[in-house]
Chains A and B, each alone.
Chain A
Amino acid sequence: NAGVTQTPKFQVLKTGQSMTLQCAQDMNHEYMSWYRQDPGMGLRLIHYSVGAGITDQGEVPNGYNVSRSTTEDFPLRLLSAAPSQTSVYFCASSYEPAWGYTFGSGTRLTVV
C-alpha cells in the first residue's frame, strides 16, 4: 500500500518555466488537496478536489492550475514559475476530511 506518492522529490526551475507536480494515491480517497509550506508559516491550501472532475481554489491559488480526471491522480501545474513559488509542496488525500488527511512526502521546488 503506497499511500500518497509525489514526484519529483526535488526540482529546480528557471523563472518563466512551467512544470507539473504529480500526486497519486491508491486508497480510493475522494478528497485530495495541495498545500505549500514556507519557512515560519503553516501549511497553506492551494487547490483541492472532492472527487473526479471537481476542483476548487484554496487560500493561495494564483499561479497554479489543477485537474482531476481520475480518483487516483491530482496533478498541480505551475504555469509560469516565479521565485515566490519556491516552497515545499505537499499533496494530501482523505476518505473524510473530518477524520484527517494522509500526506505525501513532499516536493521541494526552487525557482531561480
Chain B
Amino acid sequence: KNQVEQSPQSLIILEGKNCTLQCNYTVSPFSNLRWYKQDTGRGPVSLTIMTFSENTKSNGRYTATLDADTKQSSLHITASQLSDSASYICVVSAYGGSQGNLIFGKGTKLSVKP
C-alpha cells in the first residue's frame, strides 16, 4: 500500500534555530516528492518539488533532500522565523492515474516561539 509517514507530528523551536522535518514513503512507482507549507486556515502552498534524479533542492531558507534508495526525504529550515509556524506536508506522486496519484502525509506542525 502506498503510504507517506512524517515525523515528528509536532515540533516547537525558538526563533532563529534550525530544524529538520522527516518524510518516509513507500510509493511505487515513484514520480516526484513535494513539500507544502500550510498556514492555519489556508490552503497548502508548494515549497519544493523533486524528481527521482534530484537529491537536493532549495527555496530560500528551506532545503529539501531526497534519498530515493532509502525512500526518505527531509525538509531543513534554517534560521527559523515566526512566520515559519505552520504545518508542513510531504506529498508523493506515483506514476499512473489521471490526477497524479498524490499520496499525502499527515503533516508536521511547527511552532516557532520568540
Binding site for B on A (CB under 8 A): 4, 31, 33, 40-45, 48, 50, 56, 58, 90, 92, 94, 97-101, 103-106
Tell me the minimal C-beta distance from A68 to chain B in angstroms: 13
Measured between beta carbons, the chain B residues less than 8 angstroms from A100 are: 34, 46, 49
Binding site for A on B (CB under 8 A): 4, 31-32, 34, 41-46, 49, 89, 93, 98-100, 102-107
Which chain A residue has the least Cβ–Cβ distance from B106?
A42
Q: Are B31 and A98 in contact (CB under 8 A)?
A: yes
Measured between beta carbons, the chain A residues less than 8 angstroms from B93 are: 97-98
Measured between beta carbons, the chain A residues less than 8 angstroms from B100 are: 31, 94, 97-98, 101
Q: A21–B18 Cα gap in the complex (Å)?
A: 40
Q: Are B99 and A50 in contact (CB under 8 A)?
A: yes
Q: Can you list 19 contacts pairing A with B, beta carbon distance less than 8 Å?
A: A4-B43, A40-B106, A42-B103, A44-B104, A45-B99, A45-B102, A48-B99, A50-B98, A58-B99, A90-B43, A97-B93, A97-B100, A98-B32, A101-B46, A101-B102, A103-B44, A104-B43, A105-B43, A106-B43
Q: A50–B100 Cα gap in the complex (Å)?
A: 11
If A33-B99, A94-B100, A97-B100 touch, whether A42 touches B45 (CB-CB below 8 Å) is: no
Q: A97–B34 Cα gap in the complex (Å)?
A: 12
If A33-B99, A97-B100, A98-B31 touch, whether A103 touches B105 (CB-CB below 8 Å) is: no
Q: Are A106 and B41 in contact (CB under 8 A)?
A: yes
Which chain B residue has the least Cβ–Cβ distance from A42?
B104
Measured between beta carbons, the chain A residues less than 8 angstroms from B107 are: 42
Q: A37–B11 Cα gap in the complex (Å)?
A: 20
